[in-house]
């Protein structure tokens, strides 16, 4: 399971500000001509302190970049950089062990919407995951749209791309992790023990988990719903499941 970084254009003030604050190296910063309000001044100051090349461009150039990257708004600023924290899965496990925590890895199975990928990365970073695994095929990568949706979380959350999820899940089991799949027909999350070493697998919108991935799971968990709509958005369901694990972990530690 080798690391694979993803380079591209990062758009939007908050993601770029987060990138600069985190010390991430930017190849170049583009700012719309005449843009000086709000956080732009702070972005320019941090960029110059980091010796980043700043280029003033016409707004139409940023609009073209945004359309090409599938981002709705550029907010007057763009940056070129490698924004995914490419990682080995083994390093994610080692990082968890060094922190004295049971490994918690989030695995995405066939999620093709980059905004869902970005939202899941954001929840993973906020709720204690040690890394995210994404397949190289039939899945959205960490592009500009995903990076913007993550609100900067992509700059902190290790991401591994793998050729085969089934093989990766088998390796997780060999490393001592429970492979838990998110599925509406699974046991209610409140009845499941999610406090140990866990690889949580989130399936695609509509299709859910692929057959081979479902068969590789040790057990399935679902979320009891009360409304008339039968399912949650994949990124929302992922956030609920991650929060439930965090709640159980805190309860087990006696902090809740």
* CATH code of the domain covering residue 43: 3.30.1330.30
pLDDT of residue 2: 37
Residues 75 and 178 in one domain: no
The domain boundary residue, chosen from 22, 55, 82: 82
Selection from 26, 14, 45, 52 nearest residue 153 by Cα? 14
Diameter of the chain by CA atoms? Answer: 56
Of the two residues 189 and 140, the one the predictor is more confident about is 189
Q: β-pairing, 28-32 with 77-82?
A: antiparallel
Angle at 178 (CA atoms; ends 174, 179), nearest 5 degrees: 95
pLDDT in tens, 176-219: 999 999 998 899 998 999 999 999 999 988 788 999 999 999 99
Residues 195 and 145 in one domain: yes
In a domain, 2, yes or no: no
| Domain interval for residue 138 | 85-252
In a domain, 232, yes or no: yes
Residues 60 and 151 in one domain: no
3-state SS class at 233: coil
Q: Which two tokens stand for residue 8?
A: 């591209």
Mean pLDDT of 55-81: 85
Contact 68, 8 (CB under 8 A): no
- Whole-number Cα distances in Å, 215 to 89, 111, 206: 21, 18, 18
The domain boundary residue, chosen from 37, 65, 82: 82
In a domain, 26, yes or no: yes
d(CA 178, CA 132): 15
Residues linked to residue 208 through DSSP beta bridges, in sequence order: 204
Confidence of residue 71 (pLDDT cuts 50, 70, 90): confident
Whether residue 4 has pLDDT greater than 60: no
pLDDT of residue 231: 75
Residues 216 and 246 in one domain: yes
Whether residue 135 has pLDDT greater than 70: yes
In a domain, 1, yes or no: no
pLDDT of residue 3: 41
Counting the structural domains of the chain, the total is 2
The domain boundary residue, chosen from 82, 116, 135: 82
Is the whole model's pTM more than 0.85, yes or no?
A: no
Residues 174 and 213 in one domain: yes
Q: Is 251 exposed, middle or buried (0-12, 13-18, 19+ CB in 10 A)?
A: exposed
- The number of beta carbons lying within 10 Å of the beta carbon of residue 181 is 25
* CATH code of the domain covering residue 247: 3.40.1280.10
pLDDT of residue 84: 55
Of the two residues 203 and 137, the one the predictor is more confident about is 203
pLDDT in tens, 246-256: 999 999 887 65
**Element housing 201 (H / E):** strand 198-203
Residues 102 and 188 in one domain: yes
Confidence of residue 220 (pLDDT cuts 50, 70, 90): very high
d(CA 18, CA 153): 9
């Amino acid at each position: 399971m080798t690391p694979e970084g993803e380079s591209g254009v990062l758009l939007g003030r908050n993601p770029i500000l987060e990138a600069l604050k985190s010390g991430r190296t930017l190849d170049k910063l583009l700012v719309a001509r005449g843009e000086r309000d709000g956080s732009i001044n702070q972005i320019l100051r941090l960029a110059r302190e980091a010796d980043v090349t700043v280029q003033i461009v016409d707004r139409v150039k940023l609009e073209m970049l945004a359309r090409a990257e599938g981002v709705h708004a550029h907010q007057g600023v763009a940056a070129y950089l490698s924004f995914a924290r490419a990682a080995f899965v083994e390093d994610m496990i080692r990082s968890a062990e060094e922190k004295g925590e049971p490994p918690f890895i989030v695995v995405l199975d066939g999620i093709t919407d980059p905004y869902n990928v970005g939202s899941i990365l954001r929840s993973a970073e906020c709720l204690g995951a040690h890394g995210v695994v994404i397949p190289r095929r039939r899945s959205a990568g960490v592009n500009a749209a995903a990076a913007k949706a993550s609100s900067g979380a992509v700059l902190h959350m290790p991401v591994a791309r793998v050729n085969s999820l089934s093989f990766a899940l088998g390796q997780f089991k060999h490393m001592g992790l429970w492979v838990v799949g998110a599925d509406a027909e699974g046991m209610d999350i409140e009845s499941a023990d999610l406090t140990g070493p866990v690889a949580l697998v989130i399936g695609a919108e509509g299709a859910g988990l692929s057959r081979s991935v479902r068969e590789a799971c040790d057990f399935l968990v679902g979320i009891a719903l009360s409304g008339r709509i039968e399912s949650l958005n994949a990124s929302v369901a992922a956030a609920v499941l991650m929060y439930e694990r965090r709640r159980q972990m805190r309860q087990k530690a006696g902090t809740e």
